[in-house]
Amino acid sequence: MNDYLKNVQTLLAEAASTEEEVIERIAAKLVQKIHNGGIIQLFGCGHSNLLAQEPYYRAGGLVPVTSINAEAVMLHNGGVLASANEKDEILAKKIANLISFEKNDALIVISTSGRNPVPIEAAQKARVNDIYTIGLLSRNYSKESHPSKHSSGLRLEESVDDVIDNHSPLGDSMLKLKNNDQLFGSSSSVIGTALLHALFTRVIQLMENEGITPPIFRSGNDDDSLSHNQQLVFRYKDRIDF
Question: What letter would DSSP give residue 216?
Answer: B
State the pLDDT at residue 1: 75
In which element (H, E) is residue 222 found? none
Domain boundaries in the chain?
A: 3-236
User: Which stretches does DSSP call E strand in the chain?
Assistant: 40-44, 65-68, 106-110, 132-137, 162-165, 175-176, 183-184
Residues found in the chain: 242
Question: Which pLDDT belongs to residue 204?
Answer: 98
Q: For 205-240, how does the pLDDT look when each residue is reduced to its tens digit (9 = 90+)?
A: 999 999 999 999 999 999 999 999 999 999 999 999
pLDDT, the chain, mean: 97
> Cβ of 103: how many Cβ atoms within 10 Å?
11
Helix ranges (DSSP H) in the chain = 3-18, 20-35, 47-53, 79-86, 89-98, 117-128, 188-209, 226-236
> If you classify domain 3-236 with CATH, what class do you get?
alpha beta
Name residues whose C-beta falls within 8 Å of residue 180's C-beta, 6 or more positions apart in sequence: none
The pLDDT score that the predictor gives to residue 210 is 96
State how far the Cα of 72 lies from the Cα of 221, in Å rounded to an integer.
Answer: 33
C-beta atoms surrounding 160 within 10 Å = 26
At residue 199, φ and ψ (nearest 5 deg) are -65, -50
* Residue 197 confidence (pLDDT): 98
Residue type, 104: N
In this prediction, residue 9 carries a pLDDT of 97
Query: What is the reported pLDDT for 101?
Result: 97
Which residues, given as ranges, of the chain have pLDDT below 50?
none
What pLDDT score does 51 carry? Answer: 98
Beta strands 183-184 and 175-176 are: antiparallel
Cα angle 84, 86, 92 (rounded to 5 degrees) comes to 125
Report d(CA 199, CA 193) in Å as an integer. Answer: 10
Task: Please list the residues that pair with 67 across neighbouring strands.
Answer: 42
Nearest to 109, CA basis, from 51, 189, 56: 51
Q: What is the CA radius of gyration of the chain?
A: 18
User: Are 100 and 107 spatial neighbours (Cβ–Cβ below 8 Å)?
Assistant: no
- Distances in Å between the alpha carbon of 64 and those of 38, 55, 59, 115, 173? 8, 10, 13, 28, 33
pTM of this structure: 0.97
